[in-house]
Structure 1
C-alpha cells in the first residue's frame, strides 16, 4: 500500500554547538553518537529498587541541558555487546529521559526517525525507522493496546500495558512497523526491566530480542551474567526552541471551508541562526515560507481529506524536528458505560481500523496513567481502556464516515463500564479534576485541541441506573448542561435508548421511556438499540450487534452532519396510541415504511386491561394492533422489546422501534353517540 503524500517543514540555520564530552562518559557507541552530548550515565547494578528515588548516575547534566535538545539517544553496553539508538524527543525535559522511577513517569508511544546501530547479531540497523517506547516504574500486563502491528497480547513484547501497582519497572525501545497493518515485525532494540522492584530481584535486561520466553526480557533475571552493564543517555542540542507545533498523527478539526490552520512557532536560540524556512508538502502540493525573525511563526493551511502531512524542521541541512501523519477532519466523543466501551465480546472489529481513524489518550481510570497519556494514536475497536480504545460500534461508524465522505475521523472514548449516572458528573469546583471521569475526559479533549470543535457526542448509559428514571433524567440533564457549557452548543448530542435497565431485564421500561422522551424535552437525538439480534442479555456480538449499531449511527450522522439521505434513517418512534373496538392504533412520527416480523405481538403489553396483543400490522404512518378483546380499563400500551435475538419492527436500514409506554386514548369517531 502506498503511503499518503507527506508535508515537509524545514528550518535553516547556520551553525551547531556541541557540548564537550567528559572523558569518563566515553562508550562503545561514541562513533555512532557523533554530534550528541552524554547527559546521564549509570552503571546498572545486579539488583536495584529505585522506586521513588533518583538512580545514582555517575554523570548527570540534566539541569545544564534543560529543554535545549531536539533529539535523544541511548547506548546500552553489556560485556562488549552494545547498541545505539536515537530518536525524536518524547519529552522537553532532560530529567525525563533517564530511568522512570516515580509515579506518573510513564511513556507509551511511537517515536519517529529511529536510528539503530549495534554489534549484536539479529538487531536491525538503519535510520529513519519507526520506534515504540515503553517507560514506567509500574508493574505491567501482556495486554496489548493494538497500537503496534504484529505485537502480541499473549506475551511480554513491544506493546504491553502498565497497571496501577508500582514496583517492577520497564524501559524498552522497540522497532515497529510504520503503519498498521504492517509486515514489519515488532522487536526489541534493548530492554532494561525490574529496576523498581525489591532489591533482592535481579534486573532483566538485554539487547535485541530474547531468544526464548518473552522477547522483551521481562522476568529474565539475568543481570548477574554480565560484569559490565552500562546505560548512557544522550541529547543533541537544539538550534531553535519550538513553542507551537503539531503532534505526530494529530487530527486537527477542519473549519467550514474544509481546511485547518496548523501553527508552527518558536525562537532561534543559537545567535548564529539568521533565518528559518518552512516547506509544506502534501496532497500533491508544496509551499515554502521563510522568516528572518528571531521569534518566528508560520500558519500553513492543510486540507481535510484522506492524505497525511509531515512537518520537517532543518538546520544546517540536518533534521531538527519531524512530525508525521498530520490530518484534518472531524472529532467525536463516545461516552457511557460498558456498551459505550463496546470492547470485543464475540467477534472482532479489527477489519474496520484505518490510518484515518485516530484517537487521543486513553480512557483508563487510573489518574497517573491517564495524565501520562497525552499522545495521538490510531483508533482501535476490540480492546478497552487502552491508548486509542474507541469501541466496536464507534470504529465501525467512523470507518463508514471515512469511506463515504473521505474525511479523517477522531474518536475519543471516555466510557467506563458498570457505572451509574452519578459517576460521570462534573466536579463543578474543579472541572478538570483528574480523579473524576469527567475531568479525565475534559483534560484529554483540551490537550487534543478538539474540546471546542466537536461534531457530536454519543452517549450510551443507563443499565446501572436500574430503571430509576428520575435519577437518570436528573443526572443526564445536569451532565448535558455541563457538556454544552464545556463543549459548546454546536455539537449534536445523541442518546442511545438502552436495551435493558438493569441488564437481563426487558420488562422494566420506566428509564427507557424517559430516554425516549429526552428527544422532546432536552433537544437530543435518540437512537435505538432494538432490532439487534446479536444481544447476550447485556452486551452485543460484533455481527448482528455492535457492527449494525455502528451502521445505524453512521446513517443518522450522515443525515444530520454530512447531507446524507433521511428516508428510512430515524428510529421508528410513536406519537400516540388510540383504542377503537378491539384494536389499538400506534401513530408514528414518520411515514417511513416498516417491516413487522412474525411474533412481535408478544413484546407489547396492555396495562390495566386483561387483554393481549394478538397481531401487529404496519400501515403507512401507523401500527395497527389487534387485541384479544376490548381493552376495557386499559391505561397504557408498552412496547418492551426483548432480550437476545427474535422478531422486530424495523425501518429500511434495520433500526428497531423505540421502546415506549404511552397512554391509550379512546377513538370516539367510531362510537355511536345517542
Structure 2
C-alpha cells in the first residue's frame, strides 16, 4: 500500500511540474498583436498577373517569442509554409504570401515559437515550442465592381436567391436609414448584410461560372434618388456618411479596395427624366470626376441608357441622348440600352428583365476584363451618322458603329398581360424628322446592309434632324412603350437618339471616264467639284467583279492614274489584255455619296493587228495642243495617213502628213478636239501603227 501511494505521488508531481513549465514557457495570443491580418470572407483584388499578395504584419510582445511561422492552406490542403524571426529590438514580423485569382479558398494559420527552455531548469531540456495564435479561412482573390444609381440599380428581389462562396460583398446598404460605421464586414451575397442587385448577382454568377474568378460587388444605390444626391461629395471628408457618395466610398475604403476597383456600373436618370433633364447633363461630369479622384484605377464606367418613361417631359429624349454620347465625351464609358428589356412596366422591370440586363452587361465585362472572344454584336448599336444617299433626297442611310449587323424589326405584335388584347405597331411610326414638330411615318421600306440601314422614303425630304423613339410614350393598350425596336443580330437594341443631324447629299460622279494610256496606266477622270467633298474613294474590280479600294484622294482631285506597275513594285497591278472595272464615290466625315456608274478599261491597246501592224508611241499623252508620233526609222521623209476615231468608232478626221527627216516623227494638232479618248491610226504603204490618245485640258 505504501509503495502504491509513493508511485501516485510521483506521477502527480511530474504532471504539475510539466504544466508549470509549459505555462511559463509558451506565449499566449495576447503576446502577439496583429496589425494586418485577413478579415473573415475577405476578397483581395487581383493584379495584372491574376494574383495578389496578402499582407500580414504584427508584433510579438514577449521576449520569449523568437520566431513566427505561417501555414497557408488552399482548399484545406497545405499550400505554403514560411517561418521568419522576429526583430530583436521591436518584436516585429511580416509575411506577404501570394494567392491566385481562382475558384479556391485560402486559409491562414499563424504560429508563435519560443526560445528553447534552459536545460538547467528543473533538470529538463527542450528545442522550443509553438502555439497557434491566429486562424483565418475563406479568403479569395478576385475583382471588385461598384454599383451606383436609383431603384433600377437596386434591381429586383429574387424569390430563389443565388448564393456562392466566391460571390461576395462588403458592408450594409440600407437606404433611408442612418449608416452604422460598424457595418464593415465582408459577406456572401444574398445574406442579411444588405441589398444585392439581382442583375449584379447575375453578373457575379456568370463571371464565376464562365471565367472562374471570385468577385465582390458593392452596391451604393438608393431608390428615388437624384444624380445631384449621388454627386454630393463633402470636400475634405469624401467618405462622409451623411451623403450617398460618402457611404459607398466609406465601405469601399474600409474594404481596402478603393484603389483597385475595376468598374463602376451606373444606372440612374429616372428622377431627372420625370422633371429636370438638364440636371443630369450638368451633374454627371462632376460625378465622373469624383469617381476618377477617389477610385484612381477605375477602368470602365458602364453607363445605362434609360428606357422610355410615361411622364410628358420633352427633355427626357435629350437626357437619353447624353447617355448615348457618354462614350464620345468620356472614352472609358460604355453605354448600354435598357429599352427592350423583358418585363418592363413603365419604370421598373420584372426579375427576367433584371436578369437579362445582367447577362448583357456580363458580355461587355467579359470582353473588357476576362479576354472573352464572344465580342460580336454584344454592344448596343450606336448611331454614328445619318445622311441622304442620293441627290434626290429620297433615301436615308442610318450608319451604326462598325461591326454591327443591323436588323429592322418588322411590325410588332404587343400583348397586354392584363387582358390578353393584341395590337400591332410598326417602326416607321417611331422615327421622327425635326422632332417634335416634324413628320413621322415617312418610310416606305428599309434595307439592312451590315452596320447600315437604308431607308427608302415615301417622298423627297429636306429635314435637318432625325429622332429614334419619342421622349416619352403613353400607350393606350399597355400604358408604356414595349416596342418595336431597331436591334442587331444578337437582339441588342439600338441606343435611342435625339435630333441627330442629317447630312446633305454628296454628288455622284456620273461622268466618270476610264482611258488606257499606251501600256502604262489607266487614267480616270470625272468632273464633280463640290466643297463638301473631303475625299474620293477609287475602287477597281477585275473579272471576279469584286471591287476593292485602290486609292483615297483629296476632294479637290478629279483624276487618278492607275499604273500597270507602281514605282518600286515588283509585280504588275494591271495585266495586258485584262478588262478592269472602275467606280468612285464622294466621302466626307458626315456623309457618303452613292457610287458612280461603272466604267471599264483595258491595257490591250492594239485591236485586230496583223503582221503589218504595230504600236506607235505618242507624246505628250494626254495632250492638249500638239502631239508627236514616233514611227520606224525607215519611214523618215515618207508620206503617211492619219486617221482619228473617237470612243464610239466614229471617224473624227483624216489627214495626210509627211514624216520628218532625221528623227522619224509625225506632228499633229489636237487643240480643236473635245476632251476625251481617241484611237489614232498611222498608215504607211501596207503597214499600220495604232495607239490610244487622250485629249485633256
Q: Assess same fold via TM > 0.5.
A: yes
Determine if contact 1:596/1:648 at 8 Å carries over to the other structure.
yes
Query: How far does residue 341 in structure 1 lie from its aligned partner after superposition?
Result: 0.9
Q: Does 1:491 align with 2:284?
A: no
Cα distance in structure 2, aligned partners of 1:601 and 1:402: 42
Matching residue of 1:645: 482
Cα distance in structure 2, aligned partners of 1:430 and 1:464: 27
Residue-by-residue CA offset, 1:511-566 (whole Å, 9 max, x unaligned): 001111111012211111123132111111122x1111111111111112222232
Matching residue of 2:549: none
**TM-score, scaled to structure 2:** 0.58
Query: How far does residue 312 in structure 1 lie from its aligned partner after superposition?
Result: 2.6
Query: How far does residue 462 in structure 1 lie from its aligned partner after superposition?
Result: 0.6
Change (3 A) 1:275 1:429: closer
Instruction: Give the 3-state SS of the residue equivalent to 1:570 in structure 2.
Output: coil
Instruction: Give the 3-state SS of the residue equivalent to 1:547 in structure 2.
Output: helix
Which of 183, 186, 189 is the aligned partner of 1:376? 186
Residue-by-residue CA offset, 1:218-276 (whole Å, 9 max, x unaligned): xxxxxxxxxxxxxxxxxxxx231111101111110011111111111212234443432
Change (3 A) 1:395 1:538: same
Q: Does 1:549 align with 2:361?
A: no
Matching residue of 2:166: 356
Determine if contact 2:406/2:453 at 8 Å carries over to the other structure.
no
Determine if contact 2:308/2:481 at 8 Å carries over to the other structure.
no
Matching residue of 2:204: 398
Q: Does 1:243 align with 2:243?
A: no
Query: How far does residue 277 in structure 1 lie from its aligned partner after superposition?
Result: 1.8
Query: How far does residue 298 in structure 1 lie from its aligned partner after superposition?
Result: 1.2
Residue-by-residue CA offset, 1:365-422 (whole Å, 9 max, x unaligned): 4675441210000123xx9xx6253301111112111111111011011011111111
Matching residue of 2:151: 338
Residue-by-residue CA offset, 1:415-437 (whole Å, 9 max, x unaligned): 11111111012122321111001
Residue-by-residue CA offset, 1:195-220 (whole Å, 9 max, x unaligned): xxxxxxxxxxxxxxxxxxxxxxxxxx
Determine if contact 1:610/1:631 at 8 Å carries over to the other structure.
no
Change (3 A) 1:584 1:260: same
Query: How far does residue 626 in structure 1 lie from its aligned partner after superposition?
Result: 4.0
Matching residue of 2:290: 482
Q: Does 1:451 align with 2:288?
A: no
Structure 2: segments with no counterpart, 5+ residues:
1-20, 113-128, 412-426, 474-479, 511-527, 531-697
Matching residue of 2:80: 287
Cα distance in structure 2, aligned partners of 1:671 and 1:611: 32
Change (3 A) 1:329 1:637: same
Residue-by-residue CA offset, 1:577-609 (whole Å, 9 max, x unaligned): 123544332111123213332233333222243
Matching residue of 2:429: 602
Query: How far does residue 308 in structure 1 lie from its aligned partner after superposition?
Result: 0.2
Matching residue of 1:255: 47
RMSD: 3.1
Query: How far does residue 15 in structure 1 lie from its aligned partner after superposition?
Result: 5.7
Cα distance in structure 2, aligned partners of 1:540 and 1:506: 23
Change (3 A) 1:553 1:530: same
Matching residue of 2:215: 409
Query: How far does residue 342 in structure 1 lie from its aligned partner after superposition?
Result: 0.5
Q: Does 1:298 align with 2:110?
A: no
Cα distance in structure 1, aligned partners of 2:105 and 2:292: 32
Which of 562, 579, 592 is the aligned partner of 2:404? 592
Determine if contact 1:451/1:486 at 8 Å carries over to the other structure.
yes
Structure with the greater relative contact order (CA < 8 A, sep ≥ 6): 1 or 2? 1
Change (3 A) 1:370 1:613: farther
Determine if contact 1:504/1:538 at 8 Å carries over to the other structure.
no
Change (3 A) 1:261 1:669: same
Number of residue equivalences: 438
Instruction: Give the 3-state SS of the residue equivalent to 2:259 in structure 1.
Output: coil
Structure 1: segments with no counterpart, 5+ residues:
1-13, 19-67, 71-237
Query: How far does residue 354 in structure 1 lie from its aligned partner after superposition?
Result: 2.0
Instruction: Give the 3-state SS of the residue equivalent to 1:291 in structure 2.
Output: strand
**TM-score, scaled to structure 1:** 0.60
Which has more radius of gyration? Answer: 2
Determine if contact 1:611/1:629 at 8 Å carries over to the other structure.
no
Determine if contact 1:552/1:653 at 8 Å carries over to the other structure.
no
Determine if contact 1:650/1:656 at 8 Å carries over to the other structure.
yes
Cα distance in structure 1, aligned partners of 2:23 and 2:348: 59
Query: How far does residue 311 in structure 1 lie from its aligned partner after superposition?
Result: 1.8
